[in-house]
């Protein structure tokens, strides 16, 4: 019997090739990163750190982990790196456990303002259950409200302030975060998961001179395997020379067991790739594509949160058309061959389950080699889908969402016009490989 899993993987590859991916946190990896991920490194246990393992047979794994650590240190110009976190959420957990005692205060951007659950969302994550959390938000221009942040910091004296985002289209002013953190004596942690590739290429200011600790996932704009890395800056080590050791201990034995060695090697390969001039070109193209997409969408009458983007992503705000339309448009876009994700908008009038926004970004399409003219075409398709969704929308959908969304989905699945767009999108997308340096 041929295991059906292989056919499903082929189907998924076809789906990725024939669709346009706009989820800003996803990326396609190079064939080299891919081959490392399916290598024999998967078969080795290596609990501990280089030359300090709890298992024998790690002479080569030590060299691989050393390479990964040293390449990341060089790329970011930081004195300490840990590449073992399984992903971003446990990496943030390890940082908090290294810097705080349970019950101490953590400050981060609210989820509804573009922060991450692990930046202190109350109740539903460890970050809100084990620590007292205070959340800051956005000003009337949809930018981080530094006045509110400073006021809350003075009032609550947080131990840690997180400067990090997952759905925020603007540049982060790390120097301003630093001023506030210094005033209240807080540790400053940057979560740059979304923007790492931009930082490496100089397309976003680096947090290194300003913060104590940096966390990044490795599979977003960094274009590596699914995983994460933690860096401590010289500033962080000057404040506590043992900070690196504390983070190491918070990862293992604190939170994790054996590192995923294939991932570690994948991070090493991705770090080498990110040091190439071609990667800088890639990051610049992400930005050009994002600007072009933002302009084209706005020229077609769609509203963007904050009226644009300064990084790789943007949020389409559909609340003026109809509150809660994001959930339906995201579904209709998927039917039409373009996958993105629904997202809340600032002051979301409905809920995170039926939000009024769509989050889109350009890392995936740029990796495939799409350029500015392609962004204009994508904007045209998105606008067509929004219009079709508006006209197909059920009037009752605002009152009782769940059953009606189901009804909307059934309708969208059969919609001839959405299917016609999908044909066009597929023919277009098939022309682009999943990964190219061009
Ligand atoms: N899930 C990631 C994102 O989509 O931004 C963050 O963890």
Give the pLDDT confidence of 128-177 residue by residue, as tens digits. 999 999 999 999 999 999 999 999 999 999 999 999 999 999 999 999 99
Rounded to an integer, the average pLDDT of 24-52 is 98
Length of the chain in terms of residues written: 438
Considering only residues 379 and 389, tell me which one the structure prediction assigns the higher pLDDT. 379
| 58 CA to centre of ligand 1 in angstroms | 33
Choosing from 23, 25, 169 the residue with most ligand 1 atoms within 8 A of its CB, the one to mutate for a pocket test is 25
Sign of CA dihedral 378, 380, 385, 386: positive
Contacts of 164 by beta carbon, 8 Å cutoff, 6+ apart: 108, 109, 115, 116, 119, 172, 189, 190, 191, 192, 193, 215
Q: Are strands 228-232 and 213-217 parallel, antiparallel or unpaired?
A: antiparallel
The model carries a pTM of 0.96
Say what the pLDDT of residue 403 is.
58
Whether 55 sits among the annotated catalytic residues: the reply is no
Contacts of 176 by beta carbon, 8 Å cutoff, 6+ apart: 146
Which CATH number applies to 31-274: 3.40.640.10, 3.30.43.10, 3.30.70.1400, 3.40.50.300? Answer: 3.40.640.10
Rounded to an integer, the average pLDDT of 236-256 is 98
Say what the pLDDT of residue 399 is.
42
- The CATH 3.90.1150.10 portion of the chain extends over 279-429
The pLDDT-based confidence of 29 (bands split at 50, 70, 90) is very high
- Given 53, 159, 220, 342, which residue is catalytic? 220
Query: Residues of the chain with pLDDT > 70: what percent?
Result: 97
Top CATH class of 279-429 equals: alpha beta
Rounded to an integer, the average pLDDT of 98-102 is 97
Peptide bond preceding 39 in cis form (omega within 30 of 0): no
> Cα separation of 226 and 123, whole Å?
26
The pLDDT-based confidence of 407 (bands split at 50, 70, 90) is confident
> Cα separation of 350 and 314, whole Å?
20
- The CATH 3.40.640.10 portion of the chain extends over 31-274
What CA dihedral angle connects 383, 386, 388 and 393, to 10 degrees? -170
Residue having the nearest C-alpha atom to atom 2 of ligand 1: 25
């Amino acid at each position: 019997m041929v295991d059906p899993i292989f056919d499903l993987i082929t189907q998924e590859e076809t789906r990725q090739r024939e669709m346009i991916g706009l989820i800003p946190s996803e990326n396609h990896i190079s064939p080299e990163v891919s081959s490392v991920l399916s290598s024999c490194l998967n078969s080795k246990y290596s609990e501990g750190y280089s030359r300090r393992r709890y298992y024998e047979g790690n002479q080569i794994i030590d060299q691989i982990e050393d390479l990964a650590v040293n390449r990341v240190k060089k790329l970011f110009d930081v004195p300490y790196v840990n590449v073992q976190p399984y992903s971003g959420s446990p990496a943030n957990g390890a940082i908090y456990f290294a810097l705080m005692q349970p019950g101490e205060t953590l400050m981060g951007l609210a989820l509804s303002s573009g922060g991450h659950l692990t930046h202190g969302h109350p109740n539903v994550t460890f970050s809100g259950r084990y620590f007292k959390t205070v959340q800051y938000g956005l000003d009337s221009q949809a930018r981080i409200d530094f006045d509110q942040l400073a006021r809350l910091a003075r009032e609550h004296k947080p131990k840690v302030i997180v400067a990090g985002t997952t759905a925020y289209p603007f540049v982060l002013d790390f120097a301003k975060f630093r001023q506030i953190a210094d005033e209240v004596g807080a540790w400053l942690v940057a979560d740059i998961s979304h923007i790492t590739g931009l930082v490496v290429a100089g397309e976003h200011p680096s947090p290194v001179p300003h913060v104590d600790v940096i966390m990044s996932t490795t599979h977003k704009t960094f274009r590596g395997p699914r995983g994460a890395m933690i860096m401590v800056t010289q500033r962080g080590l000057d404040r506590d020379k043992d900070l690196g050791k504390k983070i190491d201990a918070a990862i293992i034995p604190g939170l994790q067991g054996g590192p995923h060695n294939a991932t570690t090697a994948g991070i090493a390969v991705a770090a080498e790739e990110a040091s190439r001039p071609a990667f800088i070109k890639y990051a610049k193209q992400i930005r050009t594509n994002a600007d072009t997409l933002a302009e084209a969408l706005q020229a077609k009458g769609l509203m963007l949160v904050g009226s644009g983007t300064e990084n790789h992503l943007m949020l389409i705000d559909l609340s003026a058309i109809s509150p809660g339309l994001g959930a339906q448009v995201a579904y209709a876009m998927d039917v039409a061959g373009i996958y993105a994700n629904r997202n809340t908008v600032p002051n979301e009038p409905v809920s995170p389950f039926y939000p009024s926004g769509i989050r889109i970004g350009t890392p995936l399409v740029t990796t495939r080699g799409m350029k500015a003219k392609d962004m204009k075409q994508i904007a045209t398709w998105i606008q067509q889908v929004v219009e079709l969704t508006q006209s197909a929308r059920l009037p009752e959908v605002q009152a009782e969402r769940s059953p009606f969304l189901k009804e909307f989905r059934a309708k969208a699945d059969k919609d001839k016009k959405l299917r016609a767009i999908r044909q066009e999108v597929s023919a277009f997308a098939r022309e682009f490989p999943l990964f190219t340096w061009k």
